Amino acid sequence: MIRRFLTFILVVAISVSALFSCKKVKQSNVDPTRNYFPLVQGKYVTYAVDSTYYDRVSGTSLVSHCQLKYAITDTFTDAKRRLSYIMDVYYRPYDGADFVPSRVILITPQVDSLFFIQDGAQLNKLVFPIKEGFSWLGNTHVQVQDTMFSFLKNWHYLYQNVHLGYFNGLVNFDNTVTVLEDDDNANYLNVDSIPAGHSTYAKEVYAYNVGMIYKEWTHYTFGAPDTTNNKNGYSVVMRAIDHN
Query: pLDDT tens digits, residue range 106-150?
Result: 999 999 999 999 988 999 999 999 999 999 999 999 998 888 888
> The whole model's pTM is what?
0.84
Per the DSSP assignment, residues forming a β-bridge with 136 are 157
More confident residue, 46 or 225: 46
The tally of CA atoms less than 13 A away on the side-chain side of residue 10 is 6
For the segment 172-214, what is each residue's pLDDT rounded down to a tens digit? 999 999 999 999 877 655 555 556 788 899 999 999 999 999 9
Q: How far apart are CA 105 and CA 120, in angstroms?
A: 10
Q: Quick one: pLDDT at residue 229? A: 76
Q: How far apart are CA 130 and CA 124, in angstroms?
A: 13
Collapsing DSSP to helix, strand or coil, 189 comes out as coil
Cα of 3 vs its chain's centroid, Å: 65
Find the farthest-apart pair of alpha carbons in the chain and give their distance in angstroms, rounded: 102
Indicate the Cα dihedral angle 46, 41, 128, 170, nearest 10°.
10
